[in-house]
Amino acid sequence: MLLPQPSTMPRAAAFHTSSPLYAPPLKKKSKSMEGPAKYRQAKSAKMKKKKQVDRPRPPPVGERRALRKRIVLSNPNALEVQGMPDLSVENMVDARVRGSVVGLPVPMLDQLRAVQAFKPTQGWSIFRRPGTVVRRETLEMGRLFEKIDSEGADKGKVFKKIITGMRGTGKSVHLLQAMAMGFLRKWVVITVPEPQDLVIAHTSYGPLPDSNPVQYVQNDATAALLSRTVTANEKVLSGLQISREHPALKSLVKPGMTLTELAKLGVQDSSLAWPVFQALWSELTATSPGNVNSDKFKARPPMVVTVDGLAHWMRDSQYRSADFEPIHAHDLVFVKHFLSLLQPGSACPSLPNGGLVLYSTSASNNPTIYSFEVALKQLAARQAGVAPTSPEFPRADPYAKVDERVLKLFDAVKPASAKEEALQLQTLNGLAREEARGFMEYFARSGLLRERVTEEWVGEKWSLAGGGVIGELEKLGRRLRAVA
């Protein structure tokens, strides 16, 4: 039987409406085949006009920075906490106020603003007025102030500390408390609020004449420091007169000039800022009358020196030398001066009239510098009594790149003077449970927290805050909750 020949057409269902598989594709119709143009329709190509977008004018120069760094210290919508005491000379050492929040005196707020003690990330704007919690470390610091001002064996002594800790433990607020105590005791407060600004090439610089090796001076940054210092300490500096000759300012310094007038010379003319700062520092550290106005010499008060963000000074800066080589931060005379305060003085203390040197690290804006981390570990081991020859003493990795200048800075020997304490490392941790309860009660009394503050509730929040980290407690306390 003969089979039928296969069909050349592809097999498809009878009800299928698709075109055959091997059919040629349909050609696109040209415009000539579309027929005549419609009524009043042009055949030419149409150009779409771009819509004009009204772009707003950019903000003036510096407005964004000012908005980002704006500090608000009062919230009129918050409740006023009744019976909240102000920080004073008496209660800064009183153990009965531990765990409670004390207010910062209103006349002192302008001084704290002048030295830029407040940070935008801190929750000052959610309360009626700025206040700070008194913790164990606050009372210990208050006792140091009392020892330096007392007539005992520690009168005129110098204490030096580096404050470390995880993010949100209150390092910057701890420095603010030190500044507030210094203002209450009529000390001179000198602070560097943003060390990073001195090493990122955002301010003018130039070689210091007759320096070998070459050092570099930052006149604008020094003038800003003088402006902060004279604004915050004007009452103290206006009562002190110059007592020494200053050859670099011979034509400008006159007998009977106060230290306020001396500091303003560098503010008005930034080219004189560094010689003026050296003259001001020599006047503040004078211990006896000089050859100028010796009959009007007054004893110089102790000083509080704070730096917030020490790690930025432990590496090469963004500045360049004449050979386009990076300049190390320790070659900037501004930075070198404040770092020299950490080392013990050769014959006399670094602050002969006594004082407190508090430098802190930053956990939110902290560059990773291996040499600095090793130096802090060695400092902690030395403070714990571990000898440098011990095998337990931390050492740098022999295969890692280590900056010897950083290690040498913290490898300080025992101070030669009995009026100077060795450099110490202090780590801030979370608040204790009783301190956390007082802190959360302050939120409730301010109207932010609408829950009953009990021991069980405080224990729960204390655990959620990583063991009482004050920054995390603030996040938990500022959430508004409505009670049904």
- Burial (CB < 10 A; 0-12, 13-18, 19+), residue 353, is buried
Looking at residue 320, its pLDDT comes to: 95
Structure tokens at 110: 């302008």
pLDDT band at 435 (very low <50, low <70, confident <90, very high): very high
Alpha helix locations (H) across 414-454? Answer: 433-445
Closest CA to 436 of 466, 403, 408: 466
Tens digit of each residue's pLDDT (9 = 90 or more) over 67-122: 888 889 988 888 899 889 999 999 999 999 999 999 999 999 999 999 999 998 88
| Contact criterion met (CB below 8 Å) for 267 and 260 | no
Phi first, then psi, for residue 446 (nearest 5°) are -85, -5
**Is pLDDT of 294 > 90?**
no
C-beta pairs of 208-213 under 8 Å, 24+ apart in sequence:
208/274, 208/333, 211/333, 213/331
What torsion, rounded to 10 degrees, do the Cα atoms 420, 425, 427, 428 define? 30
| Contact criterion met (CB below 8 Å) for 192 and 308 | yes
Closest CA to 102 of 129, 71, 133: 133
Q: How large is the average pLDDT for residues 429-457?
A: 91
Tens digit of each residue's pLDDT (9 = 90 or more) over 415-426: 878 888 889 999
DSSP state of 24: P
Closest CA to 289 of 245, 258, 247: 245
Closest CA to 240 of 176, 184, 283, 285: 283
